[in-house]
Chain A
Amino acid sequence: MAKISFKLNDQIVEFESDLNRRLLDVLRDDFNLTGPKEGCGEGECGACAVLLNHEIVNSCCTPLANVIGQEVITIEGFSKTKRYEVIKNAFANTGGVQCGFCTPGMIIATESLLNKNPHPTDFEIRIGLSGNLCRCTGYNLIVEAVKEAFKVGEGLW
């Protein structure tokens, strides 16, 4: 067991834990943050995506040891921001959400993309979301959602 400390959703958290755990399990089991989901558990589907220092990572293949002293934002933390409101509305307006299982990861991927590139081309959007699988929408509606988000949210990124 080791004393762990990192910034989680705008708060410094300190707790005792074994170090050899996946960030995904820590978020879901210790902090009841169930927005990040376990889809494939192998880094291929993006359902477990979170922001680590404002960049998308898969929490299923990020060891807890690697977030010590860093900043982690889950969809729960991100949902308190204006950027989230804009992205959420765009996903709803365009039909970019159906079953919703991939949506937290898709929104995290959108934020990570726009944070780095506020005016992406269609191709850049598809690259930005390429690590996130959706089995409902066929992706085009999600790409539309991202386009609407950065237009409506001009100036937020």
Chain B
Amino acid sequence: MVEAFIPKTINECLSLLTEKDLQIVAGGTDVLIQSKSHTSMLIGFKKDVLYINQIEEMKKIYEDDMYIYIGSTASLESIKDNTIVPILLRNTILEMASPAIRHTGTLAGNIANASPAGDSLVSLYILDALVEIKSLNNTRLVFIKDFIKGVRRIDLSSDEIITKIIVPKLVFTNCYFKKVGPRLTDAISKLSFGGAYSVDGKRISDIRIAFGAVNIFVVRNRLLEERLIGKTVSEIKLMIEEIISWYEPLIKPIDDQRSNKEYRKEVALNLLRSFIESLN
């Protein structure tokens, strides 16, 4: 018999995680489907369940001088609608799931799911987001790129929980996110692309480029980006074929029911080309 726990505070939640091995459920929009049984039957959870959606202190979204803090049970829709959240992340969430799912699904859930096709990951990699993880006796911060350890593998032990996503306050001249899917809503990405840059005078002072669903991890390479920093926009545009050749070996998509590797690779590199062409 599977038991269920509904803590009201983070401390209560952390105590339960220390004592038991629990399936964490926030909005439930992924976990309920992964644990689907049959109509009118109990949800097919394999272990006892920890429902965290009633913990009010984990719903908050707030800021200080340096960072935006997004509580791990804040709904995707509440993040999308909050003007303190970076526009790149808000635009990304607009392309995720559907209004109904965004009202209950969470950003922490999308991260913890650790799917290579997770839509929010591209933007969170670009923004160098941090994941705040708590256990009863410890709090630690991990960069998103270190938190994701593989397909459905994350840096989280059974007594820990994600409490916040922390996003540095970065201001870009322009940013862009594109999801390629069969349908605007409720589609799992064939691939996705994100880009952001800042121009200082005529020169690029920062540029960030990331691809989703074309490798096990989100593809982002700071060393390649740094080769472009300090150059003028027109210099970079002349390098377009060279830039594509840097990224080409990093794009290693797979064939699956949603798309094939040839399509994914070609579209990913086309999106990179169009992003570089759009710099101004």
A, B bound: yes
Complex alpha-carbon distance, A22 and B37, angstroms: 10
Q: Is the beta-carbon distance between B99 and A109 smaller than 8 angstroms?
A: yes
Q: Is the beta-carbon distance between B39 and A131 smaller than 8 angstroms?
A: no
- Chain B positions within 8 Å of A, measured between CB atoms, are 2, 4, 6, 25, 27-29, 32-33, 36, 39-43, 45, 49, 51, 53-54, 77, 94, 97-101, 103-104, 184-186
Q: Is the beta-carbon distance between B28 and A21 smaller than 8 angstroms?
A: no
In the complex, which residues of chain B have a beta carbon less than 8 angstroms from the beta carbon of A43?
Answer: 29, 33, 97-98, 100-101, 186
With A29-B40, A63-B43, A112-B99 as known contacts, state yes or no: A22 contacts B32, CB within 8 Å. yes
In the complex, which residues of chain B have a beta carbon less than 8 angstroms from the beta carbon of A66?
Answer: 27-28, 51, 53-54, 104
Complex alpha-carbon distance, A18 and B41, angstroms: 10
> How near does chain B come to A109, taking the closest CB pair, in angstroms?
7
Q: Check if A103 is an interface residue, CB within 8 A of chain B.
A: no
Q: Is the beta-carbon distance between A42 and B33 smaller than 8 angstroms?
A: yes
With A43-B29, A69-B54, A130-B98 as known contacts, state yes or no: A20 contacts B104, CB within 8 Å. no
Q: Is the beta-carbon distance between B27 and A46 smaller than 8 angstroms?
A: no
Q: Please report the number of residue pairs spanning A and B whose Cβ atoms sit closer than 8 angstroms.
A: 108
- Interface residues of A toward B: which range? 35 or more
Per-residue interface assignment for chain A, residues 116 to 132, with 1 indicating a CB less than 8 Å from any chain B CB and 0 otherwise: 00000000000110110
- Chain A positions within 8 Å of B, measured between CB atoms, are 2, 18-22, 25, 28-29, 38, 41-44, 46, 49, 52, 55-58, 60-63, 65-66, 68-69, 109, 112-113, 127-128, 130-131
With A61-B29, A112-B99, A130-B184 as known contacts, state yes or no: A20 contacts B6, CB within 8 Å. no
Complex alpha-carbon distance, A66 and B99, angstroms: 17
> How near does chain A come to B190, taking the closest CB pair, in angstroms?
17
Complex alpha-carbon distance, A127 and B41, angstroms: 32
> How near does chain A come to B109, taking the closest CB pair, in angstroms?
11
> How near does chain A come to B93, taking the closest CB pair, in angstroms?
12
Complex alpha-carbon distance, A41 and B41, angstroms: 13
> How near does chain A come to B19, taking the closest CB pair, in angstroms?
18
Q: Is the beta-carbon distance between A57 and B25 smaller than 8 angstroms?
A: no
Of the listed residues A20, A43, A65, the one surrounded by the most CB atoms of chain B closer than 10 A to its CB is A20
In the complex, which residues of chain B have a beta carbon less than 8 angstroms from the beta carbon of A49?
Answer: 100
Q: Is the beta-carbon distance between A58 and B101 smaller than 8 angstroms?
A: yes
| 5 tightest A-B CB contacts, nearest first | A131-B98, A130-B185, A19-B4, A65-B51, A61-B32
Q: Given known contacts A29-B40, A131-B98, what 16 new A-B pairs fall within 8 Å (CB)? A: A18-B42, A20-B42, A20-B45, A43-B33, A43-B186, A49-B100, A56-B100, A61-B101, A61-B104, A62-B27, A62-B32, A63-B43, A65-B54, A66-B54, A113-B99, A131-B101
